[in-house]
Amino acid sequence: MSLKRVLVGVIRSQEGTSDRAKDPKMKTRYYNLSKDKAWEEISSTLKKIPGYKVLHEVSSVGEITLEKRTSLGRTVDITISVLSVGPVRTAVDMYSASRGSLGDLGYNYRIILNLFGILDKKLAKYKITQ
């Protein structure tokens, strides 16, 4: 992780992915799967990750909310959106925010990269590289 990311994290306590992200690691992920199949895979994978607690799932909307406690006792809320962009194409975006007023020193950035790493590994044969 770069020094710039840590410095930005001094004042920011949230991070999210999008198609327009400048950092290529923070771009939306696309998979050649139907939304229902992707939902099943992603939901079951997230439930198995130690340290993360699934708080809420709404399959009709395509949203999963997770919670993670840091080693310093802060709570981080993570929202994962699973969106259909075609009959057999699905987009996945994430948003992570730390509770509290101080920055996170890039912790939310690392959480997103970690979760995407796990999902990319699980769904490697379906991933669309852009």
* Cα 108 to Cα 110: distance, rounded to the nearest angstrom: 5
- Local confidence band at 101 (pLDDT 50, 70, 90 cut-offs): confident
What is the reported pLDDT for 13? 83
Q: Give the span between the Cα atoms of 49 and 22, in whole angstroms.
A: 28
Report how far residue 107's alpha carbon sits from residue 78's, in angstroms, rounded to the nearest whole number.
12
pLDDT in tens, 8-20: 656 678 899 999 9
Q: 21-67 pLDDT, tens per residue?
A: 998 999 999 999 999 999 999 999 999 999 999 999 999 999 999 99
Cβ atoms within 10 Å, residue 8: 16
What fold, for 3-128? Answer: TATA-Binding Protein (3.30.310)
What was the pLDDT predicted at 74?
Answer: 87
Pairing of strands 127-128, 89-98: unpaired
Residue 107 and residue 124: Cα distance in Å, rounded?
25
